[in-house]
Structure 1
C-alpha cells in the first residue's frame, strides 16, 4: 500500500495507475479537508466482491 497526497497524484498519475495494474498495489490518496480515496486495479477490486450467482 502506498499513501500519497493529491498534489503527488497530479504529478504521478500514470505511474500510480501502472503500479496498481502491474503490481496489484493499491494507493491511498489523501486530500486536505476530504476523506481519503483508494486507487486499485479493476481485477483487484473485482476480487473483493462476492461471487455473482448465475440465476
Structure 2
C-alpha cells in the first residue's frame, strides 16, 4: 500500500492499447473517481466525441 492507496483502476484504450493505472484508497466515492479520471486521462486524450 503506497500512500494509503490499496485499489487500482485500470483504464485501457482498446484501439491504441494505451493503459492508465489510477490508484485509490478503498471506500472511494464516485466524485473522487471522476476527478482523478478527468485529471489523469481526459487531460491527455480529451473527451470522446462518440461511444
**Richer in helix (by share):** 1
Higher relative contact order (Cα pairs below 8 Å, separated by 6+ residues): 1
Q: By the TM > 0.5 criterion, same fold?
A: no
TM-score bucket (shorter structure): under 0.3
When normalised by structure 2's length, the TM-score is 0.27
When normalised by structure 1's length, the TM-score is 0.27
Largest Rg, 1 or 2: 1
